Structure 1
């Protein structure tokens, strides 16, 4: 399964296959809410992934890594081993946020060379298709995992600054337009955006029902935004490196592969007050 998205009916049809279904529900305002919701009802066989505990390493000490630093490869390997993952298993991630959190796990799995998809429409789509829910924890058999992140899948701040100065990349900011313009900033210490970045709020990837829009529609919009820049020269960012993955997922869905993630994103950029900040640009 190499497609970035899977619909609920197709997932039901693949019920007998060796899939690892991962519930990625998470609320920034209440980090334990997603786990509580999971215990009350989740896709059959699904295990739970916490954005803070499993998809990030909040204990990293170095400054400038952002609010949701990537876990080290060994730490992520231990997480996948605890989930019972093997390289033969395809991960299917879902949430109740239009893929905003599930997309982070999708990107992480793809960045280690693994097969992964996001359930289009998430939990709501599953229930609308008549899918049943289970409660409580799922028992798994732990595995031994070794992995490395592809260094070509992401950029850190120094490399990004050099690439921006050289004009060799286009930086795309996935935050909502008011945050990008610097009109408001509910989470980070400074409002605004990285000079030169263009804005593509990730919510624009979804239709009114919370499904990803058609590939040809997304492709046309991204091509217009990027003005001829190839996907390999595109870097995505957001507030902390999470919802930027939604734009990466949308580009992949549209057949535009090869873009990278600026992992520290805005929270990492503004950790150094000497870095420039732009505001009020369209």
Structure 2
């Protein structure tokens, strides 16, 4: 198996492979992160149609902490809180985990990144999400979910790199901070959530939705490599990723891993930056803004 294929096998699983694993002697824990901007509570949709045996994960309360506005809308949770949640989900020491959602992995990747950040080695994303499971003709559960037996996993933080706002600014100054929000938010044409519109001066626009194919699966690793090379990055390089609040940036981090790069997550992302009036804001399609290096 070549390096790109090995990376995909280590971080992704397709629907048929997941079905086979669930039927095996050591099935993985399956976590359903049913969340989207504007629809944060996915319990009802999870209950109505889910991968059999999967457990609902609340992104707002279990995959995020709470702090000051300058910490962003979804700061990283305390490791102790994340460990308690993982044990509620039934995660045991050394157990494999598969994460999924119904938005092509854009929210489930938050769980993928957090659990790997917390020290779990075997965490994979269902490529294509619930849509891929449905397309494969696999069964869905719709009865009331049964709580899993508590797990005994031990978590720690810091296994993956992060930066704060100062670190993000330093990466952006070298052209190594990718802003993966939609282009209109990057350009400052609209901002539906945060107090200021625009982007971190120097950050490059790289909408993560462009890494998905028409079915919602990730594009090939060679295509990812070409995309990130066009943005001036090289395999093995540390590349910062930022989004609105650190959720879809985790999906971008996964795509960087699959392309052979080392992602550095800015957990606070734009929501942290925009809430600090001392931070400059760039607007327009250019990294440094349409009016100069640090247009406000």
Provide the TM-score with structure 1 as the length reference. 0.92
Q: CA deviation at 1:73?
A: 0.4
Q: CA deviation at 1:246?
A: 1.3
30, 38, 43: which is aligned to 2:39?
A: 30
Provide the TM-score with structure 2 as the length reference. 0.87
Q: CA deviation at 1:280?
A: 0.7
Partner Cα distance (1:201, 1:164) in 2:
16
Partner Cα distance (1:149, 1:207) in 2:
33
Deviations 1:172-224 (A, max 9, x none): 00001110011111111100000000011010011111111111111111111
Residue of structure 2 in register with 1:7 after alignment: 14
Residue of structure 1 in register with 2:220 after alignment: 214
154, 157, 166: which is aligned to 1:149?
A: 157
Partner Cα distance (1:221, 1:79) in 2:
36
26, 30, 44: which is aligned to 1:21?
A: 30
**Cα separation, partners in 2 of 1:228 and 1:157, compared to 1, 3 Å:** closer
Q: Does 1:127 align with 2:131?
A: no
**Cα separation, partners in 2 of 1:246 and 1:113, compared to 1, 3 Å:** same
Q: CA deviation at 1:231?
A: 4.5
Deviations 1:216-244 (A, max 9, x none): 1111111111x245554211000000001
SS in 2 for 1:117: strand
Please list, as runs of the form range in 1=range in 2, the aligned pairs for 1:83-94 lying within 5 A after superposition. 83-94=89-100
Residue of structure 2 in register with 1:251 after alignment: 256
Residue of structure 2 in register with 1:183 after alignment: 189
Q: CA deviation at 1:29?
A: 2.1
Residue of structure 1 in register with 2:104 after alignment: 98
Q: CA deviation at 1:30?
A: 3.2
Q: Does 1:116 align with 2:123?
A: yes
Partner Cα distance (2:247, 2:52) in 1:
26
Any gaps of 5 or more consecutive residues in structure 2? 1-7, 287-296
**Cα separation, partners in 2 of 1:37 and 1:152, compared to 1, 3 Å:** closer
Q: CA deviation at 1:86?
A: 1.7
Residue of structure 2 in register with 1:51 after alignment: 59
SS in 1 for 2:60: coil
Partner Cα distance (1:163, 1:126) in 2:
38
Checking the alignment, whether the CA contact within 8 Å between 1:156 and 1:263 is kept in structure 2 is yes
Q: How many residues align?
A: 275
Residue of structure 2 in register with 1:266 after alignment: 270
190, 194, 197: which is aligned to 2:200?
A: 194
